[in-house]
Amino acid sequence: MANKKYDLVIADGRIIDPALGFGKDAYIFIKDGLIQKVVTPTAAVKKEVKNLDRSQVIDATGKLVVPGLIDIHVHLREPGREDAETIESGCQAAAAGGFTSVCCMPNTTPRIDNQETVKFVQDRAKDCDARVYVVGAVTKNLEGKELSEIGDLVKIGAVAISDDGKYPQNPEIMRRGLEYAKMFGIPVMQHAEDQYLCAGGVMNESFQSTRLGLKGAPAVAEEIAVLRDIALCRFTGARLHIQHVSTRQAVAAIRKAKAEGVNVTAEATPHHLVLTDEEIGKEFNTNLRVNPPIRTTDDRDAVIEGLVDGTIDCIASDHAPHSEEDKDCEFDLAPAGMIGLETTLALVKTYLIDKGYLSWADAIRKMTANPARILSLPGGSLAEGSPADITIIDQDKKWTVKADKFRSKSKNSPFIGWKMKGQVYKTLLGGRVVFEQ
């Protein structure tokens, strides 16, 4: 009969955990969905595991075992655009990408600017393959005019507020949003693009936009938005999180603000860390259209520098599904956004770790402990007693991104056909295997 002292053991993996340490070989014992113990593989431990039923053991020899990854910037599209993504399919994509927790943005239809819609999302997410935390809207209908009932949103479980996709243009509204957020103990997440400066822009304003004859959104639109809200953050003492940083000057502004003790944090997306605007002219691939736009090589390098020196705290995908019908059009007519949950980890490994910018320890910290800290989320460590949200990574596995392999309902990735190194081997959510290669 199976030994039921444990439900599952992850054997012989190499642990990378910001809390526990790095590169240690360990066995993880799981019981009732929780991590019961993490131990060094002594002869006694190995013997104990040998006696277990094989179905209870995951052999992680040669693999990395890390806390379930956390993505604090995801669009799940439900309610409203279930043709592009549902909460269920988005969570399947998350699991396939090694993410056990995601934060969903409020730009759904209807918007997540009221308790009913928060509750709807929470209910739909209940039996899904990832934990879903809801980010409520700063302003009603994301219109930037009138604040949402922020206290109500927090009371029902919103972990932050954001008008993502839009920038609350009115500084008075943003000031009040920050003040309410502070009062309720949550951060404001900010999509930093001055709407006037960006009006009509479909790519970065640069040599490339001139060459291609496309209207550009200038980098200064992000710089101004970031500077204004850093000033308001300093003034109010609230917590501000800058989403998808994409320019050299925004990185510099955040670096300076942090040095001055302003309560600001920041994220970068894999696409801003890997791509440049030179890609667009090759095929006018509409999956390269995204807000903020992918920028110049110099901006990309500055975002990497910011990630490396800690100015940028975490990596978030900005997973933004759009249907094939919507993306199958001229570049300037396409909606902005690309999916990212299923390619983020491999892009980080291939373009940041293998190129020597980040160690595995740094990368995992920026995808687990740091995002957890920014939004005060549970998880992000393999500490004993915590839910067994665990990602096992085959770090040297080579693979090619294929559209038909995506779990996401949408396939709008510019990385289709790209060769990657590093793949998710298994993802566990509360001790349940929710994805296996």
Choose from ligand DOR, Zn ion, none: what does 336 bind? Cβ within 5-8 Å by kind: ligand DOR
Task: Please tell me whether residue 319 binds Zn ion under the rule CB under 5 A.
Answer: no
The CB-of-256 to ligand DOR minimum distance in angstroms stands at 25
Instruction: Give Cα separations from 286 to 85, 293, 317, 325, 339 (angstroms).
Output: 18, 12, 18, 11, 12
What are the φ/ψ torsions at residue 163 (nearest 5 degrees)? -105, 35
Shortest-Cβ-distance residue relative to Zn ion: 191
**Smallest gap from residue 49 Cβ to ligand DOR (A):** 45
Nearest residue to ligand DOR by CB is 337
Residue 290, interface with ligand DOR (CB under 6 A)?
yes
CB of 170 to ligand DOR, least distance (A): 19
What's the CA angle centered on 213, arms 210 and 216, to 5 degrees?
Answer: 65
The set of catalytic residues is: 318
Per DSSP, the three-state class of 47 is helix
Question: Least Å distance between CB 202 and ligand DOR?
Answer: 11
| Residues within window 196-225 making contact with ligand DOR, judged by CB under 6 A | none
Give the contact letters, 161-190, x = binds to Zn ion (CB under 5 A), - = no: ---x--------------------------
- Binding test (CB under 5 A) with Zn ion, winner from 176, 191, 239, 407: 191
281 in Cβ contact with 275 (< 8 Å): no
Of the listed pieces 158-166, 227-235, 325-333, 354-362, which binds Zn ion according to CB under 5 A? 158-166
If DSSP codes are grouped into helix, strand and coil, which group holds residue 297?
helix
Question: Which residues, numbered 72-91, are part of the site for ligand DOR (CB under 6 A)?
Answer: 75
| Residue with Cβ nearer Zn ion (129 or 164) | 164
The per-residue b/e assignment along 127-158, b for 16 or more CB within 10 angstroms, e otherwise, is ebbbbbbbbbbbbebbebeebbebeebbebeb
Distance CA 243, CA 241 (A): 6
Q: Maximum CA pair distance of the chain? A: 71
Q: How many residues bind ligand DOR (CB under 6 A)?
A: 10
H/E stretch holding 305 = helix 297-309
327 interacts with ligand DOR by CB under 6 A: no
Binding residues for ligand DOR (CB under 6 A): 75, 107, 164-165, 191, 290-291, 320, 336-337
Binding residues for Zn ion (CB under 5 A): 164, 191
